[in-house]
């Protein structure tokens, strides 16, 4: 399945614009600040239900009270997003709805989303940035490839919030009511950690080969390692003990200090921690490796092939890595933003769809 066209009304910088889309490579070209990333973002929002950059109200064109996206796919189906906002500028609240096959939904269930892989410059911070970036990468991917994980993730966040609220009421109330919350949170935590470990194992099985294909260095070894202060073999029981052991500290701080929401994973290149030893080029290649594996895992999960969104990525890669990347793009509907179409077009032997943007 591929998108064939998209119409943007009062979306970001667009007042009312329509674009024809190719099932292959779509190159969105124009000077900076002409809406290239906004168009890329529109594809993501209509596919996944939300933006990776901002809240819903900021998607609405300045001065407007509504926004709308319409896309058709190659099966002739129409998919629509509507945003209706009210309130003063800067404090607007928006009602969001989706219309798919003439049925209206207030949110997209996992079954109604379209698979997408996004690679944008800030993803290069995944290796050196905060643990939250790495946790989000793993958990967001699990939502696309592991049925039911999204439900477990949301349940964990809800129970964690309830436990944290109880902690804020003081030691006496926490001691009298905490056990049931500990049991439920520990159960959900164990399921999340097991899913994360399984995903990292699947990534590790192919990471070195993919990295070698992209970098041209077949001897390099890439490895991801989950880091937790708790023994992973008896994670749930160890976490329950940690809840009890740290109760006084958690009450003082007002939040839960142990669990998968506090854990991390490390990325190693040739047995050296990448954030300490990898060059900028090696770091780019590691992230590109993870994104390539993401494509493969989503496709192998049984749904339609994912769309690939690349925001100004070619400018971050040298010629060799550009050529290697294009080898992986041929099977996917791809959207690439660039200020120089010639840099991108020359790497594709087939026809590319050029989408110019302008003020």
- The token duo for 311 is 């925001």
pLDDT for 204 beyond 70: yes
> What pLDDT was estimated at residue 1?
85
3-state secondary structure 74-113: CCCCEEEEEEEEECCCCCCEEEEEEEECCEEECCCCHHHC
Distance CA 104, CA 97 (A): 7
Q: Is 354 helix (H, G, I), strand (E, B) or coil?
A: strand
> What pLDDT was estimated at residue 258?
97
pLDDT band at 350 (very low <50, low <70, confident <90, very high): low
User: Between these two residues, 314 and 149, which has the higher pLDDT value?
Assistant: 149
Any idea which residue has 């494509």 for tokens? Answer: 295
pLDDT for 359 beyond 70: no
pTM, full prediction: 0.86
- The token duo for 27 is 């190159």
The pLDDT tens digits for 257-307 are 999 999 999 999 999 999 899 988 888 889 989 999 999 999 998 878 899
3-state secondary structure 219-283: CCCEEEEEECCCCHHHHHHHHHHHHHHCHHHHHHHCCCCCCHHHCEEEEEECCEEHHHHCCHHHH
Across the chain, how many H-helices and E-strands are there?
10, 14
Pick from 126, 147, 122, 144: nearest CA to 135: 126
133 burial (CB, 10 Å; 0-12 / 13-18 / 19+) is: middle
Q: Which of 74-83, 85-94, 195-204, 331-340 has the lowest mean pLDDT?
A: 85-94
% of the chain exceeding 70 in pLDDT: 98
Note the CATH number of domain 1-115+309-359: 3.40.50.300
**Structure-derived torsion over alpha carbons of residues 282, 283, 287, 288, reported in degrees to the nearest 10:** -30
Phi, psi dihedrals of residue 86, rounded to the nearest 5°? -150, 160
Per-domain residue ranges of the chain: 1-115+309-359
Distance CA 199, CA 297 (A): 9
The pLDDT tens digits for 219-239 are 999 999 999 999 999 999 999
Distance CA 357, CA 273 (A): 41
Tell me what the mean pLDDT of segment 36-48 comes to: 94
> What pLDDT was estimated at residue 6?
97
> What pLDDT was estimated at residue 318?
75
> What pLDDT was estimated at residue 268?
96
pLDDT for 171 beyond 70: yes
> What pLDDT was estimated at residue 44?
95
Q: Is the separation of the CB atoms in 271 and 221 below 8 Å? A: yes
Pick from 213, 349, 226, 229: nearest CA to 293: 213
User: Between these two residues, 158 and 91, which has the higher pLDDT value?
Assistant: 158
3-state secondary structure 112-180: HCCCEEEECHHHHHHCCCCHHHHHHHHHHHHHHHCCCHHHHHHHHHHHHHHHHHHHCCCHHHHHHHHHH
């Amino acid at each position: 399945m591929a998108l064939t066209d998209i119409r943007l009304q009062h979306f970001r910088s667009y007042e009312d614009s329509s674009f024809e889309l190719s099932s292959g490579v779509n190159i969105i070209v124009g000077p900076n600040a002409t809406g290239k990333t906004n168009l890329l973002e529109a594809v993501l929002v209509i596919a996944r239900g939300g933006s990776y950059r901002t809240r819903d109200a900021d998607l609405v064109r300045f001065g407007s009270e509504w926004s709308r996206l319409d896309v058709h796919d190659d099966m002739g189906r129409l998919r629509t997003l509507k945003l209706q906002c009210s309130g003063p500028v800067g404090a607007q609240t928006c009602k969001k709805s989706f219309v798919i096959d003439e049925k209206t939904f207030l949110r997209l269930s996992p079954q109604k989303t379209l698979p997408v892989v996004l690679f944008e410059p800030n993803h290069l911070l995944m290796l050196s940035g905060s643990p939250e970036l790495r946790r989000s990468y793993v958990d967001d991917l699990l939502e696309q490839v592991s049925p039911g994980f999204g439900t477990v993730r949301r349940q964990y966040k809800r129970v964690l919030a309830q436990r944290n609220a109880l902690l804020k009421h003081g030691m006496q109330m926490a001691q009298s009511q905490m056990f049931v919350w500990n049991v439920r949170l520990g159960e959900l935590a164990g399921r999340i950690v097991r899913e994360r470990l399984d995903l990292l194992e699947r990534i590790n099985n192919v990471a070195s080969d993919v990295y070698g294909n992209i970098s041209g260095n077949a001897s390099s070894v890439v490895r991801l390692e989950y880091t937790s202060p708790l023994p992973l073999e008896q994670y749930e029981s160890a976490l329950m003990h940690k809840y009890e052991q740290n109760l006084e500290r958690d009450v003082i701080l007002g939040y839960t200090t142990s669990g998968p929401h506090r854990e991390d994973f490390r990325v190693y290149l040739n047995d050296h921690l990448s954030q300490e030893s990898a060059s900028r080029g090696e770091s780019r290649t590691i992230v590109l490796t993870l994104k390539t594996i993401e494509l493969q895992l989503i496709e192998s999960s049984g749904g339609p092939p994912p769309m690939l969104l690349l925001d100004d990525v070619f400018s971050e890669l040298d010629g060799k890595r550009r050529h290697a990347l294009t080898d992986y793009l041929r099977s996917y509907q791809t959207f690439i933003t660039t200020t120089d179409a010639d840099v991108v077009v020359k790497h594709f032997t087939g026809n590319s769809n050029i989408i110019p943007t302008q003020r």
